[in-house]
A and B are shown apart, each in its own frame.
Chain A
C-alpha cells in the first residue's frame, strides 16, 4: 500500500479509534456529572484491566498469525484450582505454582497441536478450551463457583484488591503486563520473530527462524498472561466463577484487540493498539452504565462501534487489486 493510493485524509484504524474514544470522553464529560472525576476514571480502567490483560495475551497470538480461544477457559480453571487447593489446606505459594503449571501445560498443548500436529489455531484452541474446562471442572473442582477462603488473609488477596499510591493494583498490573509485552515484541529476538512469522510464515521458515518452537512459546506465554489476569480477577472479587467459560468474554477480548487495529491476518499492530481498543470499550461501557443503559443494548452499541471502525478502516485503506499487484509489472 503505497501512500499515493490513499486519499489525502487517510488515518489508520488506530487513529480513528483514538478519535472516537476522545469524542466519547468529551461527550460524557459534558453530559454526565459524575463522569470526569479521578475516582471514576480509575474505576473505568479498573473495570477493563482484566479485559486488557487478556487482550495482550490474545494480541500475542494474533500477531503471530494464530488465535487463542482457550485463554478464558484457561484463566478460569487454573485460578479456580489455585483457590480450591488453598481451601483444601495447601499453602498459597505452592497452590500458585501448581495453578501456573496447569495454565502453562494447557498453553503447551495448544502450541504442540498448532505447531507440530499442524491443526489450525482456531480449532485447536477452541477444542483445548473445552477439554481443559471439562477435565478440571469434573476432576479437580468441587463446584462451579470457588470462593477465596483459605488464602483470604494472606498477601495473595492484596494482588487484586490492594492499591499503590491510590492506584488500584489491577490498573498497575495491566500497565506492567502491557509494557513488558510491548518491549518483548519490539526489541527481543523472539518478538521480532513473532512479527516475521505473522507477516509471512513461509518466508520466516526458509530464512531460518525456528517456527515450531516459536509457536509453542507464543501459546505458553499467552497462557501465562491469562493466568495473571485470572489471579487479579479472583482476588478482586474473592471468587472464581468457572461458568465464565460459557460467556461472551472471549469475543470481547478479540474485540478489543481487533478494534484497536491489530490485523487478524498477522504481523500487523502492536500492544499499543490493544490499549487503545481497551480504553474505547472502557469509556463506552462506563458511560453507558452511568446512563443506566440496559446490558443487552450495551452489547448492541459495542458491536455497532466495532463494525463502524472496521468499515471506516476499509474505506480509508482499501485492499484492492492495485495494492496487491505491487511490483508486478
Chain B
C-alpha cells in the first residue's frame, strides 16, 4: 500500500484563527486509493486539516500539492473541480428538495426536465447499491440515508478524494456496517478516503493508514499495522494513561442528595415520549443517547426553552412543587439553567465582551437592583468568574467571538453560573473544546456537584459520560429507558441500552 503515489501532499501547513494556531507545520500525505484515518482529541486540528484540503479555508503558511503540483483553492468549489469533496458533520443538503434534486444540485441543465433527472438518479443510486428513493424529500430522511445522498453526490462529481468528518458519530451499528462496506467499495474504485473519527476501533478496522494530531501538531502518520489501541491512545493524549482525562479507577461516587427534580410522563410531539426520571442534588447525572433520542429536547422542556403547548402532557416537579415554564426566564429565577450544546447559535453574544456576556446573565437573573445597570459591580463579578473558570484571553475587553472554543464555552458556563442555579444542565459541555479546557470543564462540573448542585450532563461521548457521572440515564427514542449506577456501567451495556 505504502508505495502508491501521493495524491495530496501538504508540506508544513499552518492555519491560524485570529492569531491562535489551529494547526501548525503539519505534513500530511494522502495516497491514491487508500483509506486514511485522521485521529485526535477535540480541538486537535482534524477539522481544520480537512478544511484546508477541501478549500474551505486557506492555509496561513505552507503549501498543498495535488498530483505533485502546488495548488491553492480559493473556495470549496475549486477543490471540487479538482475532485476533492467533503462530507460534513453538519449536513450540507437542501432539506426541502428531493434526493434526486440534491444529487444533481448545481449541475442541472438549463431546461431542467425532472423525469430524466429522477431516472438518472435512480440508476445512479442503484449502481452504488444505495437503497434511497430519489423522489423522497431530504428533510424526511434519517441520518444514514442523508449521508448516502451526500456520498452519492460526491461520487457523481467524479470525486478522487472524499473527506468524511465524523461519519459514524450518529449511525447505529448496522448502518455503520453498511457504511464501511461502501467505503471499501469506493476504495476499490480508486477513490482516496480521509475520515475523521473519535472511535479508535473503527480506525483500526478499516483504515490503511492512520495520522494522529495533537494540539494542532502532527504526532505520527504511519501504516495501520504499526498501530494498536494502546499506541494510538498514547499518541493522542500525549501520556500513557489515556483514561486520566476521564478519571478512571479510583474515583469515588457521590451519594444522591435531596430529590430536586422529578419528571413524570413528559411528552412533546414525537421527540419526547412519555419520559420519567429523577435528578438528585450533589450528584452528576449523566444522560446518554444517540442523536434523535430526545435528550436535548427533554432538557429544553425542563428549562422552559422549548415552546410547548398545553396539549403536550406530563409533569415536572421541582422539589414538591409542580412547575411548567412558559419562558426560560421563569426557570432561571427558579434556579434551573441550561448550558447549550451549540454556543455559537444560542450561547453567547458575539458582539459583546467577556464581561458584558457574563453581565447579561447576572442582570437577566434579576440580580441587578433598579433600572440602571451597576457597571462596576458587574465588572467585578465578571472578573471573579473569569478567574474562577480560568478564561484566558489577551484582554478583558476581547469579544467572545475572538476566543478559542474552550474559552467561549467557559464564558457561556460563567454566564449561567452567575445566575446561582440549583440545577444546571450541560448539553455536550466539551464539544469543540480544546483538550486542556476539557479537563478544566470536567473538574468544574465535579466541583459544582461537590458544592451540592444537581448537575445533569448530556453527552454522546461514552468515556466522558462514564468518567464524569455518578449515575447514568440512557435515552432512546424520546424516553429514558435505562438507569445505571456508574460502578455497574460499561460502554457496551450503555450502548446496548441506547440502541435496542
Q: Which A residues lie at the B interface, using CB under 8 A?
A: 1-2, 4-5, 187-193, 195-196, 199-200, 202-212, 267-268, 321-322, 325-329
| Pairwise interchain contact B360-A209, C-beta atoms closer than 8 A | yes
A192-B373 contact in complex given A209-B364, A329-B404, C-beta closer than 8 Å: yes
Task: Decide: A327 and B401 in contact? CB cutoff 8 A.
Answer: yes
Say yes or no: A327 contacts B17, CB within 8 Å: yes
Taking CB atoms and an 8 Å cut-off, the chain B residues in 100-132 that contact chain A are: none
Tell me, in angstroms, the Cα distance from A255 to B352 when the chains sit together.
Answer: 25
B18 near A326 (CB under 8 angstroms)? yes
In the complex the two chains form, is B360's CB within 8 Å of A192's CB? Answer: yes
| Interface residue ranges of B45-60 to A (CB < 8 Å) | 45, 47-48, 56-57
Inter-chain contact B405/A327, CB cutoff 8 Å: yes
- Knowing A200-B349, A206-B303, A207-B360, the reply to whether A328 touches B328 (Cβ < 8 A) is no
| Complex: chain B residue closest to A186, CB-CB | B373
Q: Is B492 an interface residue (CB 8 A)?
A: no
Inter-subunit contact A327/B432 (CB<8 Å) = yes
Instruction: Name, among B20, B328, B340, B361, the residue most crowded by chain A CB atoms within 10 Å (CB to CB).
Output: B328
**CB < 8 Å neighbour of B57 from A192, A210, A267, A321:** A321
Add 5 more A-B contacts to A187-B373, A200-B350, A326-B18 (CB < 8 A). Answer: A5-B18, A193-B364, A208-B328, A209-B329, A211-B327
Contact string, B364-393, partner A, CB cutoff 8 A, digits 1/0? 110010011101000000000000000000
Please, could you name 10 A-B residue pairs with CB atoms under 8 Å apart, sorted by A? A4-B19, A187-B373, A188-B371, A191-B373, A192-B373, A205-B305, A207-B416, A208-B365, A327-B17, A327-B344
Q: Is chain A's interface secondary structure helix, strand, loop, or mixed overall?
A: helix
Q: How far is the CA of A2 from the CA of B216 in the complex (A)?
A: 20
A325: chain B residues at CB < 8 Å are 17, 57
List residues of B whose CB falls within 8 A of some A CB: 16-20, 22-23, 43, 45, 47-48, 56-57, 216, 303, 305, 327-329, 331-333, 338, 340, 344-352, 356, 359-361, 363-365, 368, 371-373, 375, 401-405, 408, 415-416, 419, 432, 434
For the complex formed, measure the closest distance between the CB of B47 and the CB atoms of chain A, giving whole angstroms: 7
Q: B159 CB to closest chain A CB, in angstroms?
A: 21
Residues of A within 8 A of B329 (CB): 208-210
A205 to B371, CA, bound (A): 19
Complex Cα–Cα for A208 and B361 (A)? 8
Residues of B within 8 A of A190 (CB): 371
Q: How far is the CA of A326 from the CA of B364 in the complex (A)?
A: 27
Residue picked from B338, B349, B408, most chain A C-beta under 10 Å? B349
Report the minimum CB–CB distance from B419 to chain A (whole Å): 7
Which residue of B57, B332, B348 is within 8 Å of A203 (Cβ)?
A: B348
From the candidates A193, A202, A329, name the one contacting B45 in the complex (CB within 8 A): A329
In angstroms, Cα B219 to Cα A87, docked, is: 86
A127 nearest CB across to chain B (Å): 24
Minimum CB distance partner of A326 in chain B: B401
Q: Could you tell me the distance between the alpha carbons of A328 and B409 in the complex, rounded to whole angstroms?
A: 12
A196 touches B48 (CB 8 A): no
Question: Within 8 Å CB of A326, what residues of B?
Answer: 17-18, 401-402
The residue of chain A having its C-beta at the shortest distance from the C-beta of B375 within the complex is A187
Q: In the complex, A209 Cα to B359 Cα: how many Å?
A: 12
In the complex, the answer to whether B351 meets A268 with C-beta atoms within 8 Å is yes
